[in-house]
Homo-oligomer: A and B are copies of this chain.
Amino acid sequence: MNSFGRIFRVSIFGESHGESVGIVIDGCPAGLSLTVEDFLSDLERRKGGIQKGTTPRQEEDLPIFKSGIFNNRTTGAPITIFFENKNTRSSDYEKQRAIPRPGHADFVANAKAGGFEDYRGSGHFSGRLTVALVAAGVIAKKLLNPLHIVSKILEIGGETDLDKGLQKAIDEKDSIGGIVECRVIGLPVGLGEPFFDSVESQLAHIVFAIPAVRGIEFGTGFAAVKMFGSMHNDAIENKEGKTTTNHAGGIVGGLTNGNELVFRIAIKPTSSTAKEQTTLNWETGKVESVSVKGRHDLCIALRVPVILEAVTAIVLADLLLLEQKIKRIL
């Protein structure tokens, strides 16, 4: 299913080189003010072509409201937002149909659809669809206001000096990965559920919907395995649940504990790389050498922070609605 959420529920659709990509957002409270301007800043942050290391493909990326908004307010009916695909160069891809690009979904998409997939620019599997997630995130963030979600890159290619990490890739004419962190201050105690609807479960679920994510860790995360319990446990200080340390990253027993929510995700190097690689040509049945042409990101992690904020906001809006911390009419 291309849907996520229980009350605040999003459904995405579209293809990279189709006419458009978009999202339907169901369950958004009525009365939220919403204009195109609300979206511009986050959409701009997601864009390639400006930062060093991002794709020169540029889309105008103006949200087109198709439903659910009236007189610049949400009506409570499903909100549909479109983004047109104007700047497509499908011929780049069509020639190489039978040669699945290494690291890309070409091979699995073909198998899944029995050959009926839209193969142009990864089709429905494209990172292009994250523009729709960012749009939903803008709405979710407005619902969460004044809660603040901040995401940033911690490392590129293992370097905390990000320029240094990028330069490695530029020097190698290759792509590179990175680590992105997300933090949220001000969450109430008790969001989430133990077991299947734990906050970690829900965040991890949607985070792995972002292409290129290979791992997620909360609080101290993987480093916790080397700690003793007495060190890892966060001592509770006051009746609001504030803890002296925050190894838990703000989640205990699957529930928010009133401290800062902290988690990190690992982004693999962009699959597209100018470096020569080998792959199967399924027409000839032979392995051949390819160098992926086209306009690509050197380091896709650079574009992830705003997407990570968006999916986090989507989860939190849903949880806060469920816990009746956001009203149904604003």
Contact = CB atoms under 8 A, between A and B. Distances in A.
Interface of A: 1-4, 6-7, 9, 11-15, 18-22, 24, 26-27, 30-31, 66-68, 70-71, 73-80, 82, 100, 102-105, 107-109, 111-118, 122-125, 129, 155-158, 169, 172, 174-179, 189-190, 193-198, 200-202, 204-209, 211, 213-222, 224-239, 241, 247-249, 252-258, 266-273, 275-280, 282, 285, 287, 301, 322-324, 327-329
B11 A26 contact: yes
Contacts of A122: 253
- 4 smallest CB-CB distances across A and B, nearest first, come from A105-B253, A215-B217, A175-B229, A103-B233
Contacts of A201: 204-209
Given A103-B234, A239-B282, 9 more contacts: A75-B113, A103-B229, A108-B189, A125-B253, A155-B225, A158-B225, A177-B224, A214-B224, A228-B273
Give this chain's copy count: 4
Given A200-B213, A216-B215, A217-B266, A235 B176 contact: no
A320 to B, nearest CB: 11
A169 B225 CA distance: 12
A7 to B, nearest CB: 7
Contact of A195 (B111, B129, B198): B129
A174 B108 contact: no
Given A194-B125, A228-B172, A104 B253 contact: yes
16 contacts: A1-B6, A1-B27, A2-B193, A3-B3, A12-B78, A13-B80, A31-B116, A70-B123, A108-B190, A108-B252, A157-B226, A177-B232, A204-B207, A225-B268, A232-B268, A235-B279
